[in-house]
Amino acid sequence: MGVLGVIFLPALFMPQWASVAGARSWAKATRFGLKFFCNIETEIRGLENMPEGAVLVASKHQSTYDILMPFVYAKNPAFVLKRELFFYPILGWYGWRADMIPIDRGGYVKTLKKMLSRAKQESQRGRQILIFPEGTRQKPGATPDYKTGVYAMYKELEQACVPVALNTGTIWPRGSFLRPAGKIVFDILPTIDAGLPRKEFMKQLENAIEPATNALLIDPQKEAS
């Protein structure tokens, strides 16, 4: 991050696409480093389910790696990120310049409205809006904890939703520097149509992500049937 952050410093004074390109280079370098140094393969499945234009992406979240790889599998992603991350050196600079969407977890209704407004603006620019429905990283196998904020985003954007399952927490766990050899999979699942009522949308989203994630925790080598 430090090396590429310095190399791409000029991107901070260029249009938004330049910072996204820098983030994509960081993601690809991390993927290569995991393979070269740690014997960790990263596979992205279901790329045919990811549109190039505006869509809502709802991803499982287990690891820091989850905020890097969308720059590989999506053309121009915009993340919903904790506001405090924007104050981090390098990471915050590029998050700000790449037009990521900040959220203050303590802001409640006012914050939610601002987040939805920003997401709408970025969606109208044709970007893929990425949100983690559980709000924070979860341990592999933990009980699902889907927040209704993802439905508020889905309703506001009036876009289809692409669920993403993954198993990153088995190899890049929170709070650990160890990276055991293995296989990380990001599984981009079939789209959920726009316009569903809250209960039906939340049910479809969880029923898509959780079984696919659990299958990856058991056997990441096995292709989804």
pLDDT tens digits, residue range 86-141?
677 766 777 777 888 888 766 667 778 888 999 999 999 999 999 999 989 999 99
Residue 224 falls within a domain, yes or no?
Answer: no
CATH of the domain at 81: 3.40.1130.10
Give the integer Cα–Cα distance in Å for 206 and 202.
6
Residue 225 falls within a domain, yes or no?
Answer: no
Residue 68 falls within a domain, yes or no?
Answer: yes
Question: CA 88 → CA 82, 83, 122, 196, 206, distances in Å?
Answer: 11, 10, 23, 38, 32
Residue 99 falls within a domain, yes or no?
Answer: yes
Whether the CB-CB separation of 57 and 66 falls below 8 Å is answered with: no
Range of the domain at 118: 2-218
Question: Residue 46 — left, alpha, or beta (φ > 0 → left; ψ -120 to 50 → alpha)?
Answer: left
Structural domains of the chain, count: 1
In 39-102, where does DSSP find H-type helix?
70-73, 91-97
pLDDT tens digits, residue range 186-215?
999 999 999 999 999 999 999 999 999 999
pTM of the model: 0.91
Whether the CB-CB separation of 31 and 72 falls below 8 Å is answered with: yes
